[in-house]
Amino acid sequence: MNEPEEATLKRFFAALVLAASPLWACADGLSGLEEFLRTARSGSADFTQTVTAPPKDGQAARTKTSSGTFMFQRPGRFSFVYRKPFEQTIVADGRTLWLYDADLNQVTQRAQDQALGSTPAALIASARDLQALRSDFTLEAAPDAEGLQWVLATPKAQGGQIRSVRVGLDGARLVALDIEDSFGQRSLIRFSGMQLNPVLPPDAFEFKVPAGADVLRQ
């Protein structure tokens, strides 16, 4: 997989965990996350993502910002659309993961279970409770910051792309995701306009290959 595709997948993994839950207070991030897993069945939101690369060769850290919209339906269905600065679409229909780059007019098609594996996004989007998450992650309540409660999730498997994930919650409402990858790159996503458990159209997660697009199967 080339670097643009890997970067797209990282954004995809990050964005798939988005959702919201009722606003009652929770004792800490772990109880808020538990409530999210129990109640969030579908959702839609806008997002802003800031990716910060670590300093290199004495230069300051580089930052890139993107934004878009998404929908999800648990378990395992997602539609994730980047609008700015470049148009990209990611759709997971439960069996296949589709990545579409509008500038290149190119589609990458992969088996969803192989593409997602044990990533944080796949686990949080499909796990029923914290016990299920703990089969692959070490979970602990992190210090409150920015008016949010945080959960630190560290993958138990060694050698993966993700080093850690911090999940930011306001009570039981998931509002931020802070991912650090194995290269020291940080991806911070903040969500707005969240709608919890809306009725989504039947074709919300169907992907149709655009006319003339090249299709790469992996």
CA distance readout (Å), 172 to 126, 134, 139: 17, 19, 16
Q: Report the pLDDT value the prediction gives residue 116, as an integer from 0 to 100.
A: 67
- Answer yes or no: is pLDDT of 33 > 60: yes
Long-range contacts of 139-143 (CB under 8 A, 24+ apart): 139/30, 139/33, 140/30, 141/28, 141/29, 141/30, 142/29, 142/166
Give the 3-state secondary structure of residue 163.
Answer: strand
Averaged pLDDT for residues 201-216: 93
Averaged pLDDT for residues 7-15: 51
Whole-angstrom distance, CA of residue 14 vs CA of residue 121: 6
Q: Report the pLDDT value the prediction gives residue 57, as an integer from 0 to 100.
A: 78
CA distance readout (Å), 123 to 1, 9, 66, 80, 104: 22, 15, 24, 17, 30
| Residue (of 91, 93, 96, 86) closest to 70 by Cα position | 91
Question: Could you tell me the pTM of the whole model?
Answer: 0.78
pLDDT class of 15 with cuts at 50, 70, 90: very low
Query: Per-domain residue ranges for the chain?
Result: 3-57+67-194
- Quote the tokens at residue 130: 């914290």
Overall residue count recorded for the chain in this entry: 218
Sheet holding 88-93, edge to edge: 137-145, 148-155, 162-170, 173-181, 186-196, 42-53, 62-73, 77-84, 88-93, 96-101, 106-111, 214-217
Which CATH code for domain 3-57+67-194?
A: 2.50.20.10
CA angle 21, 26, 29 (to 5 degrees): 85
Whether the bond between 55 and the residue before it is cis, its omega within 30 degrees of 0, is no
Averaged pLDDT for residues 155-163: 83
More confident residue, 67 or 16: 67
Each residue's pLDDT tens digit, 58-104: 788 789 999 999 888 888 888 889 999 999 998 989 899 999 999 99
Burial class from Cβ neighbours inside 10 Å (0-12, 13-18, 19+) for residue 7 reads: middle
Contact criterion met (CB below 8 Å) for 80 and 12: yes
- Answer yes or no: is pLDDT of 3 > 80: no
Q: Report the pLDDT value the prediction gives residue 38, as an integer from 0 to 100.
A: 87
Q: Which residues pair with 103 in a beta bridge?
A: none
Q: Report the pLDDT value the prediction gives residue 120, as an integer from 0 to 100.
A: 54
Share of the chain above pLDDT 70, in %: 83
Whole-angstrom distance, CA of residue 81 vs CA of residue 126: 20
> How many other CB atoms are found less than 10 A from the CB of residue 213?
15
More confident residue, 61 or 125: 61
pLDDT class of 24 with cuts at 50, 70, 90: very low
